[in-house]
Chain A
Amino acid sequence: MPVSTNVLAGRSPARNLLAENGSLAALVVLVVALSLLSGDFLTVTNLLNVGVQAAVTAILAFGSTFVIITGGIDLSVGAVAALSAIVLAWTAADTGLPWPLATLVALAVGVGCGLVNAALIAYGKLPPFIATLAMLGVARGLALVVAQGSPIEMPEAVSHLGDTVGGYLPVPVLVMALMGVVAAVLLNRTYAGRAMYAIGGNEEAARLSGIAVSRQKLVTYALSGAFAAVAGIVLASRLASAQPQAASGYELDAIAAVVIGGASLSGGKGKALGTLVGALILAVLRNGLNLLSVSAFWQQVVIGVVIALAVLLDTLRRRSSR
């Protein structure tokens, strides 16, 4: 399927899609290259594995897409993901709360962290970098405090989120698709989404045109927190165990996925589909490096180079199409 898009036949919709999305072209190149290098890469099982491995990063990154479109940044998503999962496992295990309620509490924790971020940014006038850096520390610390430094078992009902449907279709991939659709609809079809683009494009103009900027920032960061909570729950479900140190450093993967997907860190630009492609590029790359048995030290070099190349490809395409 991806190979046919390389054929330069007419103005097919696929070709238009590639021309618009440099990152999608990068993903296709990567997939073709890995299929040639490793016989184990292009199998249904392996591609589903890649999907599962992309899921947590992608869900975090969808949340970060909102924030980055407004011209902000959220460094706290990894820590908030860990805290939410820990709160879920802890409330279910230690206080005996039924799992649906515990899940709601966990989501509320994510939203709450996002609201605190937004309040510091919108009303406290802190730069987003600093406000969310502070939240990174607080959330990670609280996760350790609540868990007393040790992993907590996840309630069994919730752990099914890490399983497969009918022994075949992995649930994390379904959750990723669902969250992706939610993100796309929010961005393209709702007032909140349009407000995010407006704020990122020009905050002052957005304010003058009657958008309640501070309130919309609350919505934006709360969404980021909620998506982080979902990502944390999916991650913990895969392991059947919530870990206070889980997802550390994932915020950087999320930001990389968003930017590889064509968003601009100065705001106003970004798409849910692009972010999904960005997360897939990272997952495909890590999977491929394992299959090819690349040494530990070189893996980090290769990942860095591919991130730079993917974004470079996108900017070059944009410039030439202008």
Chain B
Amino acid sequence: MRIHALIAAGAALTLGLTACGSSGTSSSGSAGAASGGDIKIGLSISTLNNPYFVQLRNGAEAEAKKLGVTLTVTDAQNDASQQVNQVQNFTSQNMKAIIINPVDSDAAAPAVKIAERSSIPMIAVDRGVNGAKIAQTVASDNVAGGKLAAEQLAKEIGEKGEVVVLQGVPGTSASRDRGQGFTEGIKAYPNIKVVAQQPADFDRAKGLDVMTNLLQSHPGISGVFAENDEMALGAIKALGAKAGKEVKVAGFDGTPDGLKAIEAGTLAASIAQQPALLGQQAVQNAVKAAKGEQLQATVNVPVKVATKDNLSEFTGA
């Protein structure tokens, strides 16, 4: 009996603690709202336990303040079912528009259908929604990013030589799109040959192992494209002193560690996404939707090449 009571108390305590540590709602936006009137918008973010999404939220909050609308932000803590509940709560709070940053593109469909029933326009940001109609998807253009990476890498290695590609988790849209963009982009350079494309699952340790292995079969390469910065950093570790000198590495995402490597000269370039801009665009369009304006189906937020020359643009923010 006593043990049971103890266990129950422990469980209750844990729940209580975690609930306090990460409670959902944080309100921001209009102090003295003028132009926006009483427009209320809800934003359900997949997780705030990742600097990228924190930047996205900051961009959204800044835009809401500028437009004078009330923005309510919730954190789904990477739990798709919690996200559905949050969207459901938004509909009963009379939100004029809802922005969702899906935990999972497939699992978000029920949430979208709930909003549809209440005729509230819904916008997806950073990731799309599969299997339900959505007013607009605001996302980074990964295909264009892959192309930019190809152009930048070609420039770095003098438009000739052998390159290898480190792929992300097979089958994910980010890996597909970035890889497709790179393949299209690199075609413009007949003297560059892609000698191997191997998966390293967006993981730094795997990037190190796979690059080590590829150096055995292709010792003469002059360039590496990694579909994210983590793998690029692993590849740099494998290349050792060659990184940034005989072999140029291009990454993707512009993560803090990636930018540090650019500063150190080991990473030639990274294709940086602009999470704050994603958040800003999403709120701008949500306000338009709330006012009944028609939206285009997709907004591609541009990605930018970060190199040593323009590094301050990215580290400053």
Contacts and interface: CB of A to CB of B under 8 A. Distances in A.
B198 A293 contact: yes
Interface stretch (B97-105, B109-117, B206-214, B278-286): B206-214
User: Chain A CB within 10 Å — which of B51, B199, B210, B216 has the most?
Assistant: B216
A85 B98 CA distance: 40
Contact of B209 (A40, A246, A286, A297): A286
A246 B49 contact: no
Interface string A293-312: 10111011000000000000
A286 B205 CA distance: 13
A241 interface: yes
A243 B204 contact: yes
Contact of A151 (B171, B214, B216, B257): B257
Contact of B199 (A239, A287, A291, A296): A296
B147 interface: no
B213 A291 contact: yes
B205 A239 contact: yes
Nearest to B50: A149
Contacts of B199: 296, 299
B256 interface: yes
Given A49-B212, A296-B167, A296-B198, A238 B217 contact: no
Contacts of B216: 40-41, 43, 45-46, 49, 291
Q: Chain B contact residues: over half helix, strand or loop, or mixed?
A: helix
A38 B205 CA distance: 24
B141 to A, nearest CB: 23
A144 interface: yes
B157 to A, nearest CB: 20
A272 interface: no
Interface in B218-257: 233-234, 237, 256-257
Nearest to A247: B205
B297 interface: no
B209 A144 contact: no
A151 B257 CA distance: 8
Contact of B212 (A43, A53, A150, A247): A53
Given A40-B216, A49-B213, A151-B257, A297 B170 contact: yes
A56 B206 CA distance: 12
Contacts of A245: 203
A154 to B, nearest CB: 12
Interface residues of A, number: 34
Contacts of A41: 216
A146 to B, nearest CB: 12
Interface string A218-243: 00000000000000000100111101
B20 to A, nearest CB: 14
A19 to B, nearest CB: 32
Interface residues of B, number: 26
Given A149-B49, A150-B51, A293-B198, A300 B170 contact: yes
B13 interface: no
A94 B36 CA distance: 45
A6 interface: no
A90 to B, nearest CB: 16
Contacts of B217: 38, 40, 290-291, 293
B213 A287 contact: yes
B205 A290 contact: no
A149 B171 CA distance: 25
B132 interface: no
User: Chain B CB within 10 Å — which of A38, A45, A53 has the most?
Assistant: A53
B295 interface: no
A293 B164 CA distance: 11
A296 B170 contact: yes
Nearest to A286: B209
Interface in A144-168: 144, 148-151
A241 B257 contact: yes
Given A239-B237, A290-B210, A149 B51 contact: yes
Nearest to A297: B170
A294 to B, nearest CB: 8
A210 B243 CA distance: 60
Contact of B205 (A238, A293, A299, A300): A238
A239 B204 contact: yes
Interface in B159-183: 167, 170-171
Contacts of B237: 238-240
Interface in A25-66: 38, 40-41, 43, 45-46, 49, 52-53, 56
Contacts of B203: 245
Nearest to B238: A49
Contacts of A287: 209, 213
B234 A239 contact: yes
Given A290-B198, A299-B199, A241 B204 contact: yes
Contacts of B51: 149-150
23 contacts: A38-B217, A46-B216, A49-B212, A49-B213, A52-B212, A53-B209, A150-B51, A150-B256, A151-B204, A235-B205, A238-B208, A239-B205, A239-B208, A239-B233, A239-B237, A243-B204, A246-B204, A287-B213, A293-B197, A295-B197, A296-B170, A299-B199, A300-B170
Q: Which 5 A-B pairs have the closest CB atoms?
A: A290-B213, A296-B199, A296-B170, A40-B216, A291-B217
Given A246-B204, A291-B214, 13 more contacts: A38-B217, A46-B213, A49-B213, A144-B49, A150-B256, A151-B257, A235-B205, A238-B205, A239-B234, A290-B213, A291-B216, A293-B198, A293-B217
Interface of B: 49-51, 167, 170-171, 196-199, 203-205, 208-210, 212-214, 216-217, 233-234, 237, 256-257
